[in-house]
């Protein structure tokens, strides 16, 4: 079986040319490629790709994606005081970027870090990804590690002065961008990472985040509104004791999005939340795939995923909580819900719990339904026009996911984007 | 003034006739009560007037101050001045009570060609009206009706009524599920809104609510029709003898 799979992607993988780089990175790329080759590229026959067809993600070239004009919508996080780094079709744009020094963190680019010997980067690149390959293989993450042309390399020792904001622009209709970020939060450090934009016609990112004891990592992302873009993201996180990890993603439009989060809670008393709000109308396939491993005591994990689907859009959720032996007093919560605005849309969910400790609290729920007609009538009977009433109920549905964003100004930015989408789609 | 002429209504999904020729006029500034046994069509009348789906009007009309209600969307009826206090107020998780009230007030003002109320003005008015109904700041902040007790939900209905200032208020079994103290609070809220320009149609199974909200006219509804109309004494008659005697007399 594994043999047959490997054969499927073998030709493509054999033809892969690794980007030139310094010694340690060249070695890491080679190792990543070897992992990808061993696993083979995914097909729909793989359990983890049953609901999402990876064909356009594994193809040698990116399918074309028309460019998109966002109209008068302000750029994401425009009102937030941040340090911006711009990548256009995966290529760093120095002229459009801020001086990274202003973030108050050690920050360089992967393309430069590969030339120098940065030991902590060497100890992270591909390492968390490799850990995350078991028990579920993620060959496309390994392939990213082999192919990534750039990315950011960040080390934080205290509280970052400003959020680091990665802006991904899409400029060429057939661009195929692969970025790989590595982030190390030293004990007690605190960083907010913002990501925004479509990135390319086909865009792959892997982010490896090492959150040491007592550190806090906040991640807020909005994935560009280009209708035809394809996006594949992986976050691999390793979380120490008394640490915090919070990630939120807003997705509006995009023909294909797969967001994977793989995290391990390795120290006691930590908190990890992953949330997402997705809205799609028509050609929209959105997949959240999450795997959280509790390997320490008294940790809390929370997954909140909400999708609004319309006009034949498809939503997928695969979420797993694994509680290892000895991970007592684990508090695991998982909810995935979809709001289907018509009969053409569908939501496919596979929530899983696997528990080997006997003193834990874990719950999961998954629902799929239409707008509550009773609530709609109640609002209309008070004079609220039907469209506005629907928009209010959609916002209410997504509110639980957006509440996961701690920073009120950032949450407000996300809400504004959501309201804009609703006004365009339902107004 | 609300005038209902020969209103016939059946359920949309099945061939079940609920209202069989309702005739009723509520003059401006008056409080009318409709009493009747379960299944007589009282609540259906309130739903049909407010525009809820699932009912088909097969004959008749309902006119509010010259405007024909039955062709209008629910929100248009609200803007025309109709308000239904629900028997079972709906919980809306994720929508704050304040947001809900403000959206409703401003939507109606917009529909009537008035300017929207400013945040400051709205806050001032809502706080004042909430206080009279013993609705605290916490209740205003919470999602609409979520986690509210039965009494809180009914008070919240009256708060909406007070904010929207409708011309025609329909109270559907507002006393159901309330203890005496809660009922008194709700009734006081309603009484404070009584005015020359505002009419009420109070639908109730029991007479007890009418001890607190004194009606000008009482109607008895049975089998989809108004079968008897009288003064407040009619409600007392029901209280003492039940519906059986009246129904035996008229049917």
Condensed to tens digits (0 to 9), the pLDDT of residues A144-182 reads 999 999 999 999 999 999 999 999 999 999 999 999 999
Considering Cα of A123, then A124, then A126, then A130, what sign does the dihedral take? positive
Search chain B and give the residue with CA nearest A385. B75
Residue numbers in chain B where pLDDT is lower than 50: none
Condensed to tens digits (0 to 9), the pLDDT of residues A407-425 reads 999 999 999 999 888 888 8
Contact A243, A269 (CB under 8 A): no
Interchain contact B204–A (C-beta under 8 A): no
With CB atoms and an 8 Å threshold, state whether A396 touches B111.
no
A225 burial (CB, 10 Å; 0-12 / 13-18 / 19+) is: buried
Interchain contact B5–A (C-beta under 8 A): no
Nearest residue to A338 (alpha-carbon basis) of A348, A329, A328:
A348
Cβ-based contacts of B77 with chain A (< 8 Å): 381
Cβ partners under 8 Å of residue B158, min gap 6: B85, B133, B186, B189, B190, B193
Contact B225, B20 (CB under 8 A): yes
Q: Which DSSP category does A62 fall into?
A: P
Determine the distance in angstroms separating the CA of A74 from the nearest CA of chain B, rounded to an integer: 24
Buried residues in A169-184 as b, exposed as e (16+ CB within 10 A): bbeeeebbbbbbbbbb
Cβ partners under 8 Å of residue A358, min gap 6: A328
- A and B: number of Cβ contacts within 8 A: 80
Reported pTM: 0.90
Number of C-alpha atoms within 13 angstroms, CB side, residue A46? Answer: 21
Contact A158, A150 (CB under 8 A): no
Nearest residue to A194 (alpha-carbon basis) of A227, A232, A168:
A168
Give residue A18's pLDDT.
87
ipTM above 0.85, yes or no: yes
Give residue A5's pLDDT.
45
Interchain contact A379–B (C-beta under 8 A): yes
Interchain contact B50–A (C-beta under 8 A): yes
Domain ranges within chain A, ordered by starting residue:
2-370
Determine the distance in angstroms separating the CA of B222 from the nearest CA of chain A, rounded to an integer: 26
Number of C-alpha atoms within 13 angstroms, CB side, residue A154? Answer: 33
- The residues in B 92-151 lying below 8 A from A, measured between CB atoms, are 92-95, 99-100, 103-104, 107-108, 111, 143
Condensed to tens digits (0 to 9), the pLDDT of residues B127-186 reads 999 998 889 989 999 999 999 999 999 999 999 999 999 999 999 999 888 888 889 999
With CB atoms and an 8 Å threshold, state whether B108 touches A379.
no
Q: What is the CATH number of domain B2-90+166-250?
A: 3.40.50.300
Give residue A17's pLDDT.
86
Give residue A3's pLDDT.
45
Give residue A427's pLDDT.
56
| Vertex B71: Cα angle to B66 and B75 (nearest 5) | 90
Furthest CA-CA distance within chain A:
69
Cβ-based contacts of A401 with chain B (< 8 Å): none
Question: Beta partners for A277?
Answer: A250, A306
Q: How far apart are CA A354 and CA A344, in angstroms?
A: 33
Cβ-based contacts of B79 with chain A (< 8 Å): 383
Per-residue pLDDT of chain A (427 residues; tens, 9 = 90+): 344 444 468 888 888 888 887 889 999 999 999 999 999 999 999 999 999 999 999 999 999 999 998 888 899 999 999 999 999 999 999 999 999 999 999 999 999 998 888 889 999 999 999 999 999 999 999 999 999 999 999 999 999 999 999 999 999 999 999 999 999 999 999 999 999 999 999 999 999 999 999 999 999 999 989 999 999 999 999 999 999 999 999 999 999 999 999 999 999 999 999 999 999 999 999 999 999 999 999 999 999 999 999 999 999 999 999 999 999 999 999 999 999 999 999 999 999 999 999 999 999 999 999 999 999 999 999 999 999 999 999 999 999 999 999 999 999 999 999 988 888 887 5
Give residue A2's pLDDT.
43
Question: Beta partners for A339?
Answer: A308, A369
């Amino acid at each position: 079986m594994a043999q047959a799979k490997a054969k499927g992607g073998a030709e493509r993988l054999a033809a892969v040319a690794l980007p030139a780089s310094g010694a340690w990175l060249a070695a890491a790329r080679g190792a990543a490629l070897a992992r990808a080759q061993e696993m083979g590229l995914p097909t729909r026959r793989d359990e983890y790709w049953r609901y999402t067809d990876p064909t356009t993600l594994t193809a040698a070239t990116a399918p074309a994606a028309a460019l998109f004009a966002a109209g008068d919508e302000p750029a994401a996080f425009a009102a937030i005081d941040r340090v911006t780094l711009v990548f256009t079709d995966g290529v760093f744009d120095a002229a459009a970027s801020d001086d990274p020094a202003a973030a108050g963190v050690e920050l360089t680019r992967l393309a430069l870090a590969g030339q120098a010997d940065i030991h902590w980067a060497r100890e992270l690149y591909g390492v968390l990804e490799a850990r995350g390959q078991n028990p579920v293989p993620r060959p496309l993450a390994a392939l990213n590690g082999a192919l990534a042309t750039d990315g950011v390399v960040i080390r934080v020792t205290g509280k970052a002065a400003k959020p680091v904001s990665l802006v991904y622009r899409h400029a060429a209709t057939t661009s195929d961008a692969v970025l790989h970020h590595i982030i190390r939060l030293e004990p007690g450090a605190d960083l907010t990472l913002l990501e925004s934009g479509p990135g390319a016609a086909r865009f792959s990112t892997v982010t490896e985040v090492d959150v040491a004891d007592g550190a806090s990592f906040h991640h807020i992302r909005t994935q560009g509104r280009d209708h035809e873009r394809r996006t594949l993201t992986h976050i691999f996180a390793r979380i120490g004791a008394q640490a915090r990890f919070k990630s939120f993603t807003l997705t509006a439009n995009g023909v294909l999005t797969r967001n994977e989060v793989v995290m391990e809670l390795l120290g006691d008393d930590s908190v990890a939340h992953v949330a997402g709000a997705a809205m799609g109308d028509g050609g929209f396939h959105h997949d959240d795939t999450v795997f959280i491993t509790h390997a320490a005591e008294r940790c809390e994990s929370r997954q909140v995923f909400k999708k609004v689907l319309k006009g034949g859009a498809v939503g997928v959720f695969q979420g797993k909580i694994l509680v290892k032996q000895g991970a007592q007093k684990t508090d695991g919560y998982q909810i995935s819900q979809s709001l289907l605005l018509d009969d053409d849309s569908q939501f496919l969910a596979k929530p899983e719990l696997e528990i080997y400790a006997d003193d834990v609290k874990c719950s999961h729920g998954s629902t799929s339904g239409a707008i509550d007609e009773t609530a709609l009538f109640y609002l209309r009977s008070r004079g609220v026009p039907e469209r506005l009433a629907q928009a209010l109920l959609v916002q209410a549905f997504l509110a639980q996911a957006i509440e996961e964003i701690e920073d009120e100004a950032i949450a407000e930015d996300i809400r504004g984007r959501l309201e804009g989408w609703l006004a365009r789609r339902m107004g | 003034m609300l005038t209902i002429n020969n209103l016939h209504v059946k359920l949309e999904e099945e061939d079940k006739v609920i209202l069989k020729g309702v005739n009723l006029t509520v003059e401006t500034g008056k409080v009318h009560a409709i009493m009747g046994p379960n299944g007589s069509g009282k609540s259906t009348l309130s739903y049909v007037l407010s525009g809820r789906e699932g009912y088909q009007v097969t004959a008749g009309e309902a006119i509010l101050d010259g405007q024909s209600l039955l062709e209008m969307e629910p929100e248009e009826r609200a803007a025309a001045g109709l308000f239904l206090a629900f028997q079972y107020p709906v919980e809306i998780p994720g929508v704050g009570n304040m947001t809900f009230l403000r959206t409703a007030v401003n939507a109606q003002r917009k529909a009537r060609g008035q300017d929207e109320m400013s945040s400051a003005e709205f806050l001032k008015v809502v706080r004042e009206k909430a206080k009279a109904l013993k609705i605290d700041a916490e209740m205003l902040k919470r999602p609409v009706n979520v986690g509210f007790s039965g009494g809180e939900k009914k008070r919240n209905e009256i708060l909406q009524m007070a904010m929207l200032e409708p011309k025609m208020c329909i109270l559907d079994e507002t006393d159901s599920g309330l203890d005496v103290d809660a009922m008194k609070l709700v009734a006081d809220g309603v009484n404070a809104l009584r005015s020359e320009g505002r009419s009420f149609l109070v639908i109730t199974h029991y007479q007890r609510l009418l001890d607190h909200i004194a009606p000008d006219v009482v109607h008895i509804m049975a089998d989809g029709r108004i079968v008897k109309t009288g003064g407040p004494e009619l409600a007392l008659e029901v209280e003492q003898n039940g519906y059986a005697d009246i129904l035996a007399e008229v049917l």
